[in-house]
Amino acid sequence: MSTSTVVGTRDDEQIPSTGGQRRRRRTSHQVEASAHHRGPLWTAAGYVGMVLVVLVIAVPLFWILLTSFKERGDIYVRPAQWWPDPVTGQNYSELTTRIPFFDYVRNSVIITSATSVAKIVLGVISAYALSLLRFPGRSVVFLVVIAALMVPNQITVISNYALVAQLGWRNTFQGIIIPLAGVAFGTFLMRNQFLSLPGEIIEAARLDGAGPMKLLWRVVMPMSWPTLVAFALITVVNEWNEYLWPFLMSDDETTAPLPVGLTFLQNNDGVTNWGPVMAGTVLAMLPILVLFLFLQRQMIKGLTAGAVKS
């Protein structure tokens, strides 16, 4: 493989077709891992391993889900009672009356969609300029963009907090969204994608008199949808889960997103009332897990595409 080749995810059995827009990467020597000449003992051990892994991941999630449907008395009991008896929805109704749950959901939707749209647009146009336009200092600008990946958010929050507070933007949506909108990873991802496009097609479009913007929308983007979708999914998941910055910026339900709102629920209780808290975490996990269920391949593609062989 040539330099800067993206580590390919092998197209596996469950894959939806990507419309043939993208070449499947297969190296000539890829062979199914050689399980066929291993003994039955190995295979059995493999299945035991798989069952163990599933238990370790799924049992805690299942426990949380069951707890969210238990009556209070069934939660605080020893030995633990696994099955809710009777099944009750009271934790969910208590959750929505005790904290303004739907306000947090609304805030999460606003923050996630605004930040994601900003990041996706900025990522695409920056990547386009850095890959297909020619200008002096291009590699320096690219370095400036990706070096930002090395700067942890946690180090920048102090000064950013002061700046945003000075602007009077604390506890506002713009105060949460704008400082998060700069995009380094996505620029990197999309630039790699654009550079991987066949140069002849780009040249041909240019010779046909396509201007730079037409080139982007009519030629470059239609060939790049799978990568863009991967980038968009990673961004949406990250923004939905973003915690530290909104935690510092939001004071109440006017702007706090769901993860921060859950913390407020926790704070309200001297002794934690686990029922409604578990109901809240279930509802916070659900949308992303559903998204994941349908689009996991694209999500994984975005992540693995970031792992570049150099």
Partner 1 sequence: MQSSVTQPQSAAPRSGGPPPEVGPPPRRSSGRAWEWSLAALLLLPNLLLLIVFTYRPLLDNIRLSFTDWNISSPIANPVGLSNYIEWFGRDDTKIIVRNTLIFTVATVGISMAVGLGLALLLDQKLKGRNLVRSVVFAPFVISGAAIGIAFQFVFDPQFGLVRDLLARIGVASPDFYQEPGWALFMVTVTYIWKNLGYTFVIYLAALQGRRADLDEAAEIDGATAWTRFRRVLMPQLRPTTFFLSITVLLSSVQVFDIINVMTRGGPQGNGTTTLVYQVYQETFVNQRAGYGATVATIMFVILLAVTVVQVRFMDRGKQA
Told to check if 30 binds partner 1 by CB under 8 A, we report yes
Q: Which stretch binds partner 1 (CB under 8 A): 85-93, 94-102, 124-132, 194-202?
A: 124-132
Q: In this structure, what token pair is assigned to residue 80?
A: 């633990």
Told to check if 31 binds partner 1 by CB under 8 A, we report yes
Give how far Cα 66 sits from Cα of 102, 115, 177, 262, 281, Å: 22, 34, 35, 19, 12
Told to check if 231 binds partner 1 by CB under 8 A, we report no
Largest CA distance in the chain: 76
Q: Which of 155, 199, 200, 270 binds partner 1 (CB under 8 A)?
A: 155
Q: In this structure, what token pair is assigned to residue 95?
A: 């959750």
Told to check if 57 binds partner 1 by CB under 8 A, we report yes
Q: Which of 104, 107, 123, 189 binds partner 1 (CB under 8 A)?
A: 123
Burial (CB < 10 A; 0-12, 13-18, 19+), residue 285, is middle
Told to check if 117 binds partner 1 by CB under 8 A, we report yes
CA distance 105 to 120: 22
Told to check if 8 binds partner 1 by CB under 8 A, we report yes
Told to check if 24 binds partner 1 by CB under 8 A, we report no
Told to check if 126 binds partner 1 by CB under 8 A, we report yes
Q: In 165-300, where do the E strands start and end? A: none
Q: Which of 99, 111, 114, 129 binds partner 1 (CB under 8 A)?
A: 129
Residue 217 is given by DSSP the state: I
Q: Minimal distance in Å, beta carbon 87 to partner 1?
A: 19
Told to check if 276 binds partner 1 by CB under 8 A, we report no
Q: Quick one: 62 or 97, whose CB is closer to partner 1?
A: 62
Told to check if 96 binds partner 1 by CB under 8 A, we report no
Q: Quick one: 218 or 254, whose CB is closer to partner 1?
A: 218
Sign of dihedral through CA atoms 63, 64, 67, 68? negative
Sign of dihedral through CA atoms 199, 201, 203, 205? negative
